[in-house]
Homo-oligomer: A and B are copies of this chain.
Amino acid sequence: MKIILVGASGTIGKAVDKELSARHEIVRVNRTSGDLQVDLSDPKSIERLYQETGAFDALVCTAGKVHFGAFDDFTPEKYAIGLDNKLMGQVNLVTFGLKHIRGGGSFTLTSGLLNDDPIREGVSAAMVNGGLEGFVHGAAIVMPRGLRINLVSPTVVEESLPVFGPFFRGVKPVPVSDAALGYAKSVEGAQTGRVYRIGWSRDQ
Q: Which residues of A contact B (CB under 8 A)?
A: 43, 70-72, 74-76, 79, 83, 87-88, 91-92, 95, 98, 114-116, 118, 120, 122-135, 137-144
Contact = CB atoms under 8 A, between A and B. Distances in A.
Contacts of A128: 131, 134
B133 A115 contact: yes
B127 A138 contact: yes
A144 B98 CA distance: 44
A141 B120 contact: yes
Nearest to A133: B130
A98 B79 CA distance: 16
Interface residue SS majority, chain A: helix
Given A71-B142, A118-B140, 20 more contacts: A71-B143, A71-B144, A72-B98, A74-B95, A75-B95, A79-B88, A87-B131, A91-B127, A114-B134, A115-B133, A116-B137, A122-B138, A123-B138, A123-B142, A124-B138, A125-B138, A126-B134, A127-B135, A128-B131, A128-B134
15 contacts: A71-B142, A76-B95, A79-B91, A114-B138, A115-B133, A116-B134, A118-B138, A126-B139, A127-B134, A127-B135, A127-B138, A128-B131, A129-B134, A130-B134, A130-B135
Nearest to A195: B204
Nearest to A127: B135
Contact of A92 (B76, B92, B127, B142): B76
Contact of A71 (B114, B126, B137, B139): B139
